[in-house]
Structure formats: structure tokens, C-alpha cells
């Protein structure tokens, strides 16, 4: 069967997207590949279709390396729903279940087997793979989340380093490595560590045009987040990222008090709690997951409408990977972030205090600088983001800077005042101080600390009284982002960098983003008295009243099927597929089979029930 026939009959799609067809044909032919494709771009099909095609040619089992148990479960469930024999081996299985799956694998009947990297390299697994190779039943290796192999990547996993055994031990089996995020350094590391020197490299556009990028300056982050959710995403599924476990739990509890269904997720929670929360997020509508970066890799939920960052990520790769979990279905979604001076200082400090080598630290500082440049940009966010990955583009007209161009002002004089004050601190007694005290001195505020160190006697005392505290924090944040000031030490004290000299001399003109001086206030209300929020989401396409009724009936039917099969609803059918059924109201199995996302197995399993639901829906 051709790859196009597999795509249509198994997965219900009439055509490949972008480079998918080229990748699929290359891998079916036995070629190695490194695939960089954005989240939601269809990476899974790039190895699933070749796995099916090669299995039909009696070339055996495809082994998929995946780092996440939850992802394995949902991927296997989706494949079985589509009529493809697949399974996984992980710690959730009993000994008897493991033995049964191993027998299926060794017989060659299994099309795809998902395994974690640490299991793949055990003596038992390698021995089984040896046997498959000897009998010509080892078809393909797919290495998902391949950036995990690189120390330069944002999610390094030591277990991935052992995967070079695949090339050394099974040279006849082609390998496809896939990731959504990798800069030039990470790509080179993937190729070296996985020995993919002869692999063909496929790089799709990193652009996610359906995602709107917005970055705001923190004044009251909770109030800003609440306003963002209430105004733009009421009842939507979303992810809120926080840096610490404590902040995750506090934010989740606070959102629930505000009437928003929110769950915490971090590595410190019991494994059973994490699984329960993840399952609820995947299976229920309108749940907001508040999480550390421990959550998210491989999450296939297509209808996440927003990803919010309450703290600054470490790198653009992290930011891109995390924001990419929004809008996998192609419908409009938001990537929203609030960040402030403390975020910049803390990230610098974590790099400086890490036990890593100086070369690695230098690389991380460079990555942080690139992220700060994105955050402080006056121009199109998307152009900046794509340029980081080596892709040229034009202004998107959809990010915050394009929609509402930020005001800028000549901050040269203010910058020189701040730098002069830092210099005076050091000149006085070789001392350094944090941002709060520096701002007090600049604004001429008479505090105990000012009196203790006689800083009212400095020539810079009070020279910045014309700017508010918020404005000075913005100036300092931008000076740190521009590299003229650095923060370090136990108390995050501020120091001049070599480039500060040119600014002090007047040789550099600085145009800074304008900051609003109006603080955001949290509206006070009785705790727990807010009305429950609606979980009814708008369909992905416009529907009239009668079609909306059919859509609601189809969703209710899908929920029952998903519960019966213990799968997320989107694994049965995506919202877009249900919406098209409701719109076109097919009256026959043939007509139903023409709808995108309806493969032969699903048509056979559910077709008559779907026609019944459409026929009996109200309206």
C-alpha cells in the first residue's frame, strides 16, 4: 500500500502537509532522517506511516523511543483506534502484561512498540532486538524528543546518551530522530551523539501562525493573569508555567478560589497524583494546568487555547517548546508571559551559581540574552523568534508589538544616572547593592539603609526623582537585558559591565520601552463565591444553531466512547472532525468517510452510531 493510501485509509487524511510526504518516502526507503518540525506539525505521522508501510512489506517492528509514559499510552490508544497494532513497554505493566507484549513483538505481529530510553538499553531488551534483527524483523527506530540527547538542549536526559548503541548494534535498521526545538548547536549535538552523520535533515518552518505572542511587564502578575484568562479565555483549557513548586501550588489554589478549574503539577507530587491530574487535564474540557517545566513534553491535547508564563523561561528553546503546546489543532491560541526585573536577576544568578563548566555557563548566558532581547523587543515578536532558529520572516501583524506598537523613549540620560550611581557605590567603599536600594538613592528616598551608608551624601542622591519606582525598575531590567549591568552574589547586587563605560561617556544612545505607571489591582471579593465558569467551548468552525445542536450531541457521544475506552476524547475524534460532521450532516457511510480524520477502521467501528446521532440530534 502506498504512503498516501495509508494516510487516507488509516488516518483519514487526504493529503500530507509540508515536508511530511518527502520524509515518509525517504524513511520507507530505508534512509536515516533528522526531522525538525514544530509542535502540531504532524511529526508522529512521519514515523507512523513508514512503520505501517514497512510492516506491510514484512519488515517487522518499529521501535519508538519516547520519554513519557502518558504519551505512550495515548499514542498507542490512538493507533489502536485507527486499526494499527501497537503497544508500549513501561513500568505501569504487570509482569504478565509485559510478557504478552514481548511475545507480540518477537512474533513480528506488532507494528509499533513504544519504549522509554532507559528500558531500550537494558540487556533483556537489547537481546530481544538482536533476535529481531537476525530474523529480519527489526524495521525502524524512531527517536522522539531527540533534543533530550543534547547538553545544549533545554531538556537534557542522560538516558538518551546511550542511544548511540542503535547505530552501532543495528546498522541495517533506519533511524528517524524528531524534535520540535533545536538551534544550530543542539542540532549538531543530536547528529554527533546519535551518529546521524549520513542522515538527511528536514527542517520545517518554525512558524506557528495561529499563536499570538504577548509579553507584559509584571506589576501584579496574578491580577494580570486573571484578567488575561477572564477577558480572553474563559472556560478554555490552558497551561500556566511557574518556576517553583511552591508557586505552582499557590497559583493553582488561587485560580480555583477565583472560579477557574486549575490543577497543580510538579515533580514533587506523588506519581499517582501527577497521573490523576494529567489525565483530568487531557480528558476534561476547560481545565487549567499550573505546572513547572516537569509537565508538557509530548502532550498531544489539541485544544489547549493558551500557555501563560508567570516567570521567565531559561531559553528561547524552552519558551518555544512550552508555548508550542497551545493550538496544536491550528485554531487561534495565545502565548502570554509576564516578566520583571526579579526574573532577569534570578535567571542570571542561577546560571552563575550552577556547578556546570564555564563553557556551558557561557552558552546559557548567551541563550538567556537572546530570550531577553525577545522580551524587550520593540518590533515583531515572531520575526525575532524565527530569526533565532535561522528563519527569515516579515512582521506577523498578530503579536502584541504588531497589534499595539510599544511606546519608546530616549532613556540615555536615565541609564547614565543609574550607571553613575552603581559606580559611586563601588567608588565609596568598594560596595554593591541591589535594585531596591539603588532606586531609593536615585529617587532621593531617606531610608534607614540610606542613612546607615551615608548615601544621602552621594552626588547621585535624588537625581532620578523625576521617575517612579516602576519606571526605574524597567530601566534597570532593560540595562541588564542589554548587558550593561549584571546582577550577582547572594544578594543579587548590581555591577557594571565593560560596555557600561561607553554608555556613561555618552557614546551610546538608548531607546527603552515605556512602562505604564498605573499598577494593576486584584479585585477583592468573597472567597469561593464566584459563579462556576462555563465549560462549553465554541466549535472550531462557524456553525448555525441546528449544526451546533448536532455538534453538542456528537461531543456527548464521543465522551461516552472515550470513557469506555479510557482515552482522551480527542483520540476518538478531534473537535474539527466532529464540527465538520455537524456542518455537512452526512447521510451515508460513504459521505461520512470523506470527512478529514475518519479512517476506515473508525468508519467501520463508529460510522453507523455517528449517523444515528446526527439523525436524532435536536433541531
CATH number at residue 597: 1.10.150.80
Running DSSP on this structure, what letter comes out for residue 558? H
Most confident of 286-300, 378-392, 507-521: 378-392
Do 240 and 328 lie in one domain? The reply is: yes
Running DSSP on this structure, what letter comes out for residue 506? T
Please give the C-alpha separations between residue 306 and each of 134, 168, 400, in angstroms, as whole numbers. 48, 43, 15
Average pLDDT score over the chain: 89
pLDDT of residue 69: 77
Please give the C-alpha separations between residue 71 and each of 67, 380, 482, in angstroms, as whole numbers. 8, 34, 40
pLDDT of residue 534: 46
Reported as a pLDDT band with limits 50, 70 and 90, residue 170 is very high
Last residue of a domain, one of 360, 388, 403: 403
What distance in Å separates the CA atoms of residue 494 and residue 94, rounded to the nearest whole number? 56
Reported as a pLDDT band with limits 50, 70 and 90, residue 309 is very high
> Residue 518: pLDDT above 70?
no
Please give the C-alpha separations between residue 252 and each of 179, 240, 255, 329, 567, in angstroms, as whole numbers. 30, 9, 5, 26, 25
Chain segment 341-370, per-residue pLDDT in tens: 888 888 888 888 888 888 888 888 888 888
Chain segment 404-453, per-residue pLDDT in tens: 998 889 999 999 999 999 999 988 878 889 899 999 999 999 999 999 99
What distance in Å separates the CA atoms of residue 296 and residue 279, rounded to the nearest whole number? 12
What is the signed CA dihedral for 566, 572, 578, 584, rounded to 10 degrees? -140
In a domain, 518, yes or no: no
What distance in Å separates the CA atoms of residue 405 and residue 452, rounded to the nearest whole number? 44
Strand 485-488, strand 408-410: pairing: unpaired
193 contacts 313 by C-beta, under 8 angstroms: no
Reported as a pLDDT band with limits 50, 70 and 90, residue 143 is very high
pLDDT of residue 153: 56
Q: Rg for the chain (alpha carbons), in Å?
A: 27
Please indicate whether residue 531 or residue 140 has the higher confidence score (pLDDT): 140
Reported as a pLDDT band with limits 50, 70 and 90, residue 141 is very high
Please give the C-alpha separations between residue 61 and each of 27, 85, 345, 546, 601, in angstroms, as whole numbers. 14, 10, 50, 46, 21
Q: In what order do the strands lie in the sheet with 175-179?
A: 86-89, 112-115, 61-65, 138-143, 175-179, 33-36, 200-203
C-alpha cell read off for 189: 549535538
Do 241 and 372 lie in one domain? The reply is: yes
The average pLDDT across 535-552 equals: 84
pLDDT of residue 526: 38
Q: Report the domain count for the chain.
A: 4
> Residue 489: pLDDT above 80?
no
Region of residue 376 (phi > 0: left; psi between -120 and 50: alpha; otherwise: beta): alpha
pLDDT of residue 252: 97
pTM of the model: 0.81
Q: Which of 349, 373, 352, 371 is nearest to 361 (CA)?
A: 352
C-alpha cell read off for 133: 534483527
Q: Which of 368, 257, 252 is nearest to 310 (CA)?
A: 252
* Lowest-confidence region among 72-81, 480-489, 503-512, 526-535: 526-535
Instruction: State which residues form the domain around 431.
Output: 408-513
The helix/strand/coil state of 94 is coil
Do 504 and 562 lie in one domain? The reply is: no
Do 350 and 420 lie in one domain? The reply is: no
C-alpha cell read off for 495: 555591577
pLDDT of residue 619: 64
In a domain, 526, yes or no: no
Please give the C-alpha separations between residue 609 and each of 8, 262, 471, 606, 613, in angstroms, as whole numbers. 21, 34, 62, 5, 6
Do 46 and 148 lie in one domain? The reply is: yes
pLDDT of residue 516: 54
Region of residue 60 (phi > 0: left; psi between -120 and 50: alpha; otherwise: beta): left
In a domain, 522, yes or no: no
Do 462 and 319 lie in one domain? The reply is: no
pLDDT of residue 228: 96
Do 346 and 433 lie in one domain? The reply is: no
Do 164 and 221 lie in one domain? The reply is: no
Please indicate whether residue 155 or residue 397 has the higher confidence score (pLDDT): 397
In a domain, 114, yes or no: yes
> Residue 608: pLDDT above 90?
yes
> Residue 524: pLDDT above 80?
no
> Residue 567: pLDDT above 90?
no
Do 344 and 457 lie in one domain? The reply is: no
Do 499 and 566 lie in one domain? The reply is: no
Amino acid at each position: 500500500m502506498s504512503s498516501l493510501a495509508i494516510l487516507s485509509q488509516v488516518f483519514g487524511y487526504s493529503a500530507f502537509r509540508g515536508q511530511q510526504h518527502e520524509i515518509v518516502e525517504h524513511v520507507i526507503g530505508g534512509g536515516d532522517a533528522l526531522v525538525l518540525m514544530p509542535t502540531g506539525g504532524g511529526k508522529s505521522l512521519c514515523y507512523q506511516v513508514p512503520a505501517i508501510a514497512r510492516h506491510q512489506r514484512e519488515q517487522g517492528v518499529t521501535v519508538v523511543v519516547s520519554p513519557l509514559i502518558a504519551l505512550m499510552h495515548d499514542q498507542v490508544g490512538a493507533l489502536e483506534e485507527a486499526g494499527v497494532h501497537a503497544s508500549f513497554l513501561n513500568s505501569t505493566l504487570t509482569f504478565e502484561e509485559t510478557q504478552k507484549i514481548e511475545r507480540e513483538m518477537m512474533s513480528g505481529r506488532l507494528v509499533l512498540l513504544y519504549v522509554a530510553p532507559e528500558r531500550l538499553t537494558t540487556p533483556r531488551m537489547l537481546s530481544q532486538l538482536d533476535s529481531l534483527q537476525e530474523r529480519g524483523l527489526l524495521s525502524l527506530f524512531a527517536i522522539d524528543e531527540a533534543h533530550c540527547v543534547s547538553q545544549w538542549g533545554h531538556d537534557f536526559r542522560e538516558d538518551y546518551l546511550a542511544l548511540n548503541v542503535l547505530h552501532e548494534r543495528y546498522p541495517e535498521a533506519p533511524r528517524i530522530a524528531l524534535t520540535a526545538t533545536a538551534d544550530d548547536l543542539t542540532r549538531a549535538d543530536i547528529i554527533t551523539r546519535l551518529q546521524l552523520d549520513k542522515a538527511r535533515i528536514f527542517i520545517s518552518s518554525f512558524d506557528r501562525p495561529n499563536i499570538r505572542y504577548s509579553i507584559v511587564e509584571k506589576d501584579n502578575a496574578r491580577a494580570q493573569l486573571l484578567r488575561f484568562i477572564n477577558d480572553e479565555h474563559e472556560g478554555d483549557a490552558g497551561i500556566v508555567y511557574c518556576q517553583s513548586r511552591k508557586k505552582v501550588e499557590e497559583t493553582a489554589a488561587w485560580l480555583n478560589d477565583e472560579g477557574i478549574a486549575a490543577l497543580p503539577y510538579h515533580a514533587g507530587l506523588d506519581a499517582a497524583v501527577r497521573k490523576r491530574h494529567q489525565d483530568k487535564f487531557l480528558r476534561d474540557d476547560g481545565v487549567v494546568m499550573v505546572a513547572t517545566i516537569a509537565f508538557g513534553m509530548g502532550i498531544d491535547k489539541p485544544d489547549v487555547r493558551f500557555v501563560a508564563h508567570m516567570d521567565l523561561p531559561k531559553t528561547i528553546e524552552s519558551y518555544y517548546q512550552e508555548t508550542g503546546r497551545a493550538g496544536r489543532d491550528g485554531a487561534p491560541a495565545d502565548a502570554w508571559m509576564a516578566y520583571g526585573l526579579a526574573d532577569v536577576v534570578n535567571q542570571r544568578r542561577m546560571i552563575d551559581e550552577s556547578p556546570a563548566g564555564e563553557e556551558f555557563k557561557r552558552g546559557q548566558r548567551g541563550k538567556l540574552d537572546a530570550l531577553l532581547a525577545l522580551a524587550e523587543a520593540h518590533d515583531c515578536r515572531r520575526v525575532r523568534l524565527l530569526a533565532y532558529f535561522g528563519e527569515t520572516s516579515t512582521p506577523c501583524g498578530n503579536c502584541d508589538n504588531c497589534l499595539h506598537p510599544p511606546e519608546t523613549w530616549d532613556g540615555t540620560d536615565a541609564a547614565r544616572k543609574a550607571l553613575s550611581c552603581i559606580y559611586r557605590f563601588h567608588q565609596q567603599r568598594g560596595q554593591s547593592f541591589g535594585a531596591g536600594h539603588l532606586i531609593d538613592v536615585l529617587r532621593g528616598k531617606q531610608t534607614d539603609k540610606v542613612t546607615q551608608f551615608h548615601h544621602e551624601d552621594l552626588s547621585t542622591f535624588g537625581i532620578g526623582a523625576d521617575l517612579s519606582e516602576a519606571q526605574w525598575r524597567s530601566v534597570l531590567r532593560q540595562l541588564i537585558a542589554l548587558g550593561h549591568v549584571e546582577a550577582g552574589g547572594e544578594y543579587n547586587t548590581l555591577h557594571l559591565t565593560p560596555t557600561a563605560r561607553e554608555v556613561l561617556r555618552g557614546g551610546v544612545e538608548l531607546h527603552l520601552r515605556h512602562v505604564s505607571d498605573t499598577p494593576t489591582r486584584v479585585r477583592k471579593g468573597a472567597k469561593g463565591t464566584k459563579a462556576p465558569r462555563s465549560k462549553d467551548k465554541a466549535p472550531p468552525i462557524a456553525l448555525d444553531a441546528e449544526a451546533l445542536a448536532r455538534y453538542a450531541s456528537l461531543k456527548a457521544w464521543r465522551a461516552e466512547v472515550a470513557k469506555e475506552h479510557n482515552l482522551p476524547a480527542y483520540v476518538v475524534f478531534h473537535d474539527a472532525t466532529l464540527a465538520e460532521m455537524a456542518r455537512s450532516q452526512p447521510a451515508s457511510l460513504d459521505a461520512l468517510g470523506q470527512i478529514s480524520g475518519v479512517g476506515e477502521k473508525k468508519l467501520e467501528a463508529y460510522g453507523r452510531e455517528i449517523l444515528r446521532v446526527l439523525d436524532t440530534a435536536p433541531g
